[in-house]
Structure 1
């Protein structure tokens, strides 16, 4: 008989450009006509055809046991309806094939910004707290084949009998 998985709680922190820097960027609105600079999303989409789409998510809650990364491109995610959401991340390290447990962090992301995940950043989410019949639409910028050719997932239930909950 298998033991029940351990649930490790991750304290969610409100995202800022400074605390999210090891994982990517936080992008806020800017005035029209502003010149491109370091506050704009620094994208890597040269390894394929960019895909910008709206994904509808019905998941609820803040628990996860799998985390994914993409090593060919950056990825941008944001809530369309201005609703708060959550994301767990682990910094990119292309020298190893799995995320470092001690480096996993959770963020609470307000609906007035979006995130750009650096190439190779491990991520779980978006997650959100809403009634089971609700959904949130998220915009997603990645490559057209990201979910087929560039989708590497680590399952902590299989490797460590571990699940996470963002609080």
Structure 2
């Protein structure tokens, strides 16, 4: 890290439906046969072909300097194999083209739930200390090609973040 850069620590709180509400939803297990309601993921996948896949990420750690958003769809992420993970988020203010630094938050996500990011939610992660983690990911087939907007805090503010 260059001398002019600042490393800011973000305290990662355990995720709950209430504290994650500005960014999306937290989906916990429900009984088989339960009727669809507001506790289920409220998806927006109408702007393309949905893609549901398993991605393997290696050695992500807990530091980041970039944050991304998708403005054409919701995105769902969850870990496999019982591994907790971290995610940093900023609210989806879709009328501005950068995240609101003062509203950056970090969450620790247990393996017994998944998150649905609201359309436009800025997100950095998943991050973790494990050697690797497999994640299921639901987004559009071309999300990472045509709907991938990234803000680099190092370039704009000389900032890097660490989730603790």
| TM-score category, normalised to shorter length | over 0.9
- Stretches of structure 2 that go unaligned for 5 or more consecutive residues are none
TM-score (norm 1): 0.96
Q: Distance in 1 between matches of 2:157 and 2:89?
A: 18
TM-score (norm 2): 0.97
**2:122 aligned residue:** 122
**2:143 aligned residue:** 146
- Stretches of structure 1 that go unaligned for 5 or more consecutive residues are none
Number of matched residues? 163
Which whole-Å deviations, capped at 9, do the CAs of 1:12-65 have from their partners, x for residues lacking one? 100000000000000011111100000000000000000000000003310000
Backbone CA RMSD of aligned residues: 0.8
Equivalent residue of 2:32, what SS? coil
1:67 CA drift (Å): 0.0
Q: Distance in 1 between matches of 2:82 and 2:114?
A: 10
Alignment of 1:72 onto 2:72: yes
1:5 CA drift (Å): 1.2
